[in-house]
Structure 1
Amino acid sequence: MHPIEELRLQINRRHFFAAGSSAIGLAALSSLAPTTHAHAKSLAEQNGPGYAPGMAGATHFAPRAKRVIYLCQSGAPSQMDTFDYKPQLEQHDGQELPDSVRQGQRLTGMTSGQKSLPAARSIAKFRQHGQSGQWISDLLPHHAKIADDICIVKSMYTEAINHDPAITFFQTGNQQPGRPSLGAWLSYGLGSESADLPSFVVLLDKNTDPQAQPLYSRLWDSAFLPSNHQGVKLRTVGDPVLYLQDPTGATIQEKRKFLDRLAELNSLRLANVGDPEIDTRISAYEMAYRMQISTPELIDLSTESAATFDLYGPDAKVPGTHAANCLLARRLAERGVRFIQLYHRGWDHHSNLPERHPKIAKEVDQGSAALVQDLKARGMLDDTLVVWGGEFGRTVYKQGDPKKFGRDHHPRCFSIWMAGGGVKPGIGYGQTDEWCYNIVENGMHVHDLNATILHLLGLDHRRLTYRYQGRDYRITDVHGNVCRDILS
């Protein structure tokens, strides 16, 4: 075909709009220019407290927190055995759950066929701790040391009654898969403070419970947001990320030249077709290169003091344990990672709860408490929000064998805690009834929690949106209220 005829065929509406986006390629290349945390901080100082170099531009108002560490307790801890003290259960132990308390609320298929629903008192004693006098179970002795630093929310609730939709709801704001995760929304809205690490990092604790619920990558996925906002999972076995050592044996200088040429080729393609995923690909290559340089220093714990290891406990030296991941989370926070998600599995106790629950509580107790203490000692707790909790609660009544009983799923009320980042310390929020079955004061829905988290980071959950398939989406959908009562 004659060159002029070929050119005529190429000039169509699609080609016109694609060619008009050539500036995107230049913008993508400019974004690869090496930047440092100090430079990002300088930009923030020049532009005021609301500035953030994220996709959505500036924050909506001055933030209280810069980052989030979310300690997800997958499987759902029992609230009446951890943070919601119910002395009346001593008298109710063994009694049938009254219909006036249950109020016809649905049960799972695991207990709906039980002829009897006898109440079970807490498997551990509760004591008051700190100047605040917060009640905390003896299953969590190290949490007693942070009683004055945490806000215990005893009135969380959700609509989801099974694990998969419930944890998906917490992480993405919807029970059905396919929505961006909270970390991806924050990455999209705020960008990253780090030039060498992703804005969103995921850590999975080693699983020691054979009945632990599975986890899915969609819980930290970006869904329809640009894919560079998805969580990056650090592995606990072998290298934390694949190909940390270049399998080709190329030097850093050779790798740098290769990526520069590849970025040029991708930018040319981006200018021709206008596909935003090409921009994401360029960023991914660049981030992978930077992580090859920065990650070895991140995971090298030899610089940590003996006092730090004493604080986190002996498990902190064992990769993949909750304590080790909590220590790694602090190191990630120091290096500017925006959202750090930890998952600990094993709280799903439908049977033999009196033996299994203390074991799992011991696995997470010291590391979780040490993280708060460590951040506070380093002056980081004020601008780091720590969240601890599962996807729903547990029933007050016994499931299965009365002697080796478990507790079934209970979405109507459960407990989580929050610390730092503009949250009032040393308080309890919300109340449940004496059966620990219904909320009687200050309920906090999943959407309210996510709205409050965004608010603490300077984002209005109603304005952090992304248009997809003709609709503006947000993590709180059309719901959610900021819980201002817990804000300091």
Structure 2
Amino acid sequence: MENEFFKNRLNITRRHFLGKAAAGIGGLALGSLLIPKIWKGDGTDVSSSPLGLAQYAPKAKRIIYLCQNGAPSQYETFDYKPLLTKMMGQDLPESIRGGQRLTGMTASQTKFPLMGSYYNFRQHGQSGAYISDLLPNIAKIADDICIVRTMNTDAINHDPALTFLQTGAQVGNRPSMGAWMSYGLGSENKNLPAFCVLLSRGRGNGQGVYSKLWTNGFLDSTHQGVVFSSSEDPILYLNDAEGIDKQDRRRMLDHLAELNQLGFDESGDPEIQAKVQQYEMAYRMQTAVPELTDLSKEPDHIIKMYGPDCLVPGTYAANALLARKLSESGVRFVQLYHQGWDSHGNLPNEMGMQAQDVDRASAALITDLKQRGLLDETLVIWGGEFGRTNYCQGNFTPDNYGRDHHPRAYSIFMAGGGTKPGTVYGETDEFGYNVAKDPVNIHDFHATVLHLMGINHEQLTYKHLGRRYRLTDVSGNVIPGLLA
């Protein structure tokens, strides 16, 4: 009678029950295949994102963004234009310039003398990509990278252009790319932040970087980028004060959490909970970070690959190696800013010094990831906020010249993470001034990066002040030609 009661009450039989149970077990198995670490209890945090996991199978799991702050010239790196050398010193035709607005630095010029590259170009890899002799190590990995020659932006000055590149808007208080990734995907390692920022300064003319480039904007502050110091102690105040041990620290945080909970119960302010989470993250980082940031234990062949500067804290090479270690440990988004590319004058000398700083380490990072089997799941991005003019800024001197800001067309490259290796995407006109084929604007770039991370850019939104915001604002299309 009891079995009959439950059979009628629930309208199931033993056969139905076993069938449903088998389906549930199958679901668990599928989950373990899609997210291998979900059942391991190894520090992976798959619940820190309010949106859950990626919306479809991602090509990339993590991003390392090598931001060349100040805008390296495409004419001395990846966009070979022999016509500029042939027409050296001649005025840029007005029909090509097309009335583009100019910066205050060249608005008073009446002549715009064309300037060819100071450096030679050669073809590299099976694709035959033209790469400047300024970047010999990057040239060696031509078959591993995807060069994009038709990036374009809406901004013509550094502050709005860099802000636009990192946040999708030229104004402040918008979440940065790393913050959106943290919000949308969460962290892979509960002992480390999802978004880390590394800073270095080159020997060229520098432009400043500022906290709004790695801000959480209107997202919870847990998604803000954690800046590593350029000193020997990458995380300041990581060690407890003298006389304080781990148990003392744990008791202090527990009491502090109780006080904060009282404040939250009274006000309901979500930032109070975010503060508690940040305290706990800092406590866990005390264990994870010291070993992670100790680069001296890297084997000799790795040090040789990145160069001796990788053992000097705060250099680009040291940050590139640290970026690999952070990414390898599960940090979702690592952002490097290397200042010094603002070459308004003395460009041959300044770009030469900048290239010495970044060429070897950038190529080493991609090679290092590849040999560890991590490049397929790590998206590496290299490039600045806009490009440089094809004409000389100020007086025309073939051996000592400068180039002004140019937003219409410039070059970057990407590697790994589902991008198409050994390819060159897009074409500029013969003057290198305008896009001739396959433009990629900033919103397209963001949409494509999110796609590679398994996110539909139109669905990664956050409601703020009555409007649903997204990284790509109200536009942007995934660029199929960049995908493997």
**Normalising by the residue count of structure 2, what TM-score does the alignment of the two structures yield?**
0.89
Q: What 5-or-longer segments of structure 2 have no aligned partner?
A: 1-34
2:184 pairs with 1:189: yes
Deviations 1:35-68 (A, max 9, x none): xxxxx8532799xxxx775221121111110000
Aligned length: 444
Q: Paired residue for 2:30?
A: none
Is residue 126 of structure 2 the alignment partner of residue 169 of structure 1? no
Amino acid at match of 1:158: T
Q: Residues 152 and 337 from structure 1, CA distance in 2 versus in 1: closer, same or farther, beyond 3 angstroms?
A: same
Identity rate of aligned residues, in percent? 57
1:389-408 matched pairs, under 5 angstroms = 389-403=383-397, 404-408=400-404
Q: Residue type of the partner of 2:286?
A: Q
Residue among 282, 293, 298 paired with 2:292:
298
CA distance in 1, matches of 2:255, 2:179: 29
Find the partner of 1:460 among 450, 456, 469: 456
Q: SS of the residue aligned with 1:88? A: helix
Deviation sequence 1:386-410 (CA, Å, 0-9, x none)? 0000000000000112122200000
Judge conservation of contact 1:162–1:409 (CA < 8 Å) in 2. Answer: yes
C-alpha separation in 2, matches of 1:285 and 1:438? 50
Work out whether residues 79 and 393 of structure 1, in 8 Å CA contact, stay in contact via their aligned partners in 2: yes
Alpha-carbon distance between aligned partners in 2 of 1:249 and 1:439, rounded to the nearest angstrom: 63
Q: Residue 392 of structure 1 contacts residue 410 of structure 1 at CA under 8 Å; is this kept in 2?
A: yes
Show the counterpart of 2:7: none
Distance (whole Å) between structure 2 residues aligned to residue 466 and residue 89 of structure 1: 46
The one-character-per-residue Cα deviations of 1:154-183 (angstroms, maximum 9, x if unpaired) are 000011000000000000000111111010
SS in 1 for 2:367: helix
Deviations 1:317-346 (CA, angstroms, capped at 9, x unpaired): 111111110000000001110000000011
294-303 vs 325-334, which moves further: 294-303
The DSSP-based 3-state class of the residue aligned with 1:201 is strand
Report the alpha carbon displacement of residue 267 of structure 1 after superposing the two structures with TM. Answer: 2.4
Q: Would the aligned equivalents of 1:316 and 1:323 in 2 still touch at CA under 8 Å? A: yes
Which residue is equivalent to 1:447? Answer: 443
Tell me the secondary structure at the aligned position of residue 43 of structure 1.
coil
Paired residue for 1:352? 346
Structure 2 partner of 1:433: 429
Matched, 1:475 2:471: yes
Query: Counterparts of 1:30-429 in structure 2 under 5 Å?
Result: 41-43=36-38, 53-209=48-204, 211-403=205-397, 404-429=400-425
Q: Distance in 2 between the 1:484 and 1:380 partners?
A: 23
Q: Larger deviation: 318-327 or 272-281?
A: 272-281
Question: 1:318-376: per-residue Cα shift (whole Å, max 9, x none)?
Answer: 11111110000000001110000000011101111121111111111011111000000
Structure 1: which 5+ residue stretches go unaligned?
A: 1-39
Report the CA distance between 1:272 and its aligned residue: 3.1
Distance 1:332 1:326 in 2: 10
TM-superposition CA deviations, 1:279-302 (whole Å, max 9, x none)? 101101101111111111111123
Retained in 2: the 8 A contact 1:179–1:222? yes
SS at match of 2:119: coil
Quick one: distance in 1 between partners of 2:132 and 2:303?
Answer: 24
Give the root-mean-square deviation of aligned CA atoms. Answer: 1.5
Q: Output the CA distance in 1 between the equivalents of 2:267 and 2:243.
A: 34
1:5 aligned partner: none
Residues 44 and 52 of structure 1 are in contact (CA less than 8 Å); yes or no, is this contact kept in structure 2?
no
Aligned to 1:486: 482
Deviates more, 1:81-90 or 1:164-173: 81-90
Shift of 1:461: 0.8
**Aligned AA (1:291):** M
- Secondary structure of 1:42's aligned partner: coil
Q: Helix, strand or coil: the match of 1:208?
A: coil
1:52 touches 1:59 (CA, 8 Å); kept in 2? Answer: no
CA distance in 2, matches of 1:289, 1:53: 17
Q: Is the 8 A contact 2:197 2:334 kept in 1?
A: yes
Say whether the 8 Å CA contact 1:351–1:401 is kept in structure 2. Answer: no
The code of the aligned residue for 1:243 comes to Y
Q: 1:360 and 1:258, CA in 2 relative to 1: closer, same or farther beyond 3 A?
A: same
Match of 1:33 in 2: none
| Residue type of the alignment partner of 2:262 | L
Q: Structure 2: how far apart are the matches of 1:272 and 1:371?
A: 49
Report the residue type matching 2:332 in the other structure: R
- TM-score (structure 1 length as normaliser): 0.89
Partners in 2 of 1:71 and 1:332 — Cα distance?
14
User: In the alignment, is the contact (CA less than 8 A) between 2:89 and 2:396 conserved in 1?
Assistant: no
Q: Residues of 2 paired with 1:45 and 1:234: CA distance?
A: 29
The answer to whether the 8 Å contact 1:139/1:361 transfers is yes
> C-alpha distance in 2, partners of 1:41/1:191?
16
Corresponding position of 2:17: none
In the alignment, is the contact (CA less than 8 A) between 2:232 and 2:313 conserved in 1? no
Q: Is the 8 A contact 2:167 2:175 kept in 1?
A: yes
Q: Which moved more, 1:343-352 or 1:87-96?
A: 87-96
Q: Name the stretch that deviates more: 260-269 or 358-367.
A: 260-269
User: How far has the Cα of 1:271 moved from its partner?
Assistant: 2.8
Secondary structure, counterpart of 2:327 in structure 1: helix
Contact 2:202 2:357 in 1 (8 A): no
Say if 1:158 and 1:247 are closer, same or farther in 2 by CA, change over 3 A: same
